Amino acid sequence: MREAMFYERLNENLVRCGLCRHHCQIGDGARGICAVRENRGGTLYSLVYGKLVAENVDPIEKKPLFHVLPASRSFSIATVGCNFRCRHCQNYSISQVPPKAPIVGEDHSPQSVIRKAQAMGCRSIAYTYTEPTIFFEFAYDTARLAKEAGLLNVFVTNGYITKKALTTVAPYLDAANIDLKGFSEGFYRDYIHARLSEVLDSIVEHRKLGIWLELTTLIIPGLNDSDEELQGIASFIVGNLGGDTPWHVTQFYPTYQLTDRPRTPVETLRRARDIGKAAGLRYVYEGNVPGEGGENTFCPSCAALLIGRHGYLIERNRIENGACPDCGAVIAGIGM
């Protein structure tokens, strides 16, 4: 256990958590929505500090981050817990913790994570699989050491972190892939148990703090795949983040509590990509459908093929010093 950051004590041993935008008020002996922050006698504790349930070496493309150190490896870690209740969660076995469940995980220190990342030849550490916000204290301590060691830090996140917490970690956070799960408050209310407006505010705050952003939308047939909703997302990205922000439109497959929907047709992903391009996005990628050609990076100026991908494998990378070798256009990102 570790005393939590970002909370205030209220009356009669009640506390209010300020880590994510739920701002849970937590009574003595209870936990927040994330199920991993517990009030004990008026002191809020993180129950998952260093309790890793996943540690893997992944291609950075798996996050997905296509414009951060292409073809590099990222040491990826997670604890149990999440502050969302997505009915289609792909990692529900580790993210959806019952309110009073025992906390599982192998004990690690920030120093051990750094040593493993370096030993494996990784160039970054990814806080991923579940929601990095809910293991903030461990992620923050690790990120500071990683920065000193010359490693990048990336969050794969739902974007529900508070501005105060984000501002605290921002000096050490190089990039984030944020799930923009839909573009209606009804979808967020009914399928995520969160508020779209808070996610949108957080996304803009990430950009203002200088964090490289890529957004991912898992497109679910009949729920968030209308032209209107996809156009809303694309226009939001262009208007608030700029046309150089990559947007990953990804295929849904039935899982967890949402098994009554079919896989997303490739044609739907192609339509979403076309909508993004028409709105002014320079980099739109189709996810979970390797071999369809939607994972490649093209020059936004001359349309030359720059990075050819198949799944997470880069088959060809023609970018030279961050630019297109044919026309000299700069390709946005980190270490391109």
Q: Using pLDDT thresholds of 50, 70 and 90, give the confidence band for residue 311.
A: confident
Look-up: residue for tokens 């990222």? 74
Look-up: residue for tokens 């998952």? 48
Cis preceding-peptide flag for 246 (omega within 30 of 0): no
* Eight-state DSSP code of residue 257: T
Q: Using pLDDT thresholds of 50, 70 and 90, give the confidence band for residue 293.
A: confident
Does 292 score more than 90 pLDDT?
no
Q: Using pLDDT thresholds of 50, 70 and 90, give the confidence band for residue 196.
A: very high
Mean local confidence (pLDDT), 24-46: 97
Which residues does 309 contact at the CB level (< 8 Å), separation at least 6? Answer: 61, 66, 295, 296, 297, 315
Q: Using pLDDT thresholds of 50, 70 and 90, give the confidence band for residue 290.
A: confident
The whole-angstrom separation of Cα 166 and Cα 209 is: 9
The whole-angstrom separation of Cα 293 and Cα 174 is: 28
Q: Using pLDDT thresholds of 50, 70 and 90, give the confidence band for residue 139.
A: very high
pLDDT of residue 282: 98
* Eight-state DSSP code of residue 25: E
pLDDT of residue 198: 98
What is the token pair recorded at 135?
Answer: 């293991």
The neighbouring-strand residues paired with 249 are 217, 286
> Is residue 34 within 8 Å of 20, Cβ to Cβ?
yes
Report pTM.
0.97
Residues constituting the chain: 336
Q: For 265-289, how does the pLDDT look when each residue is reduced to its tens digit (9 = 90+)?
A: 999 999 999 999 999 999 999 999 9
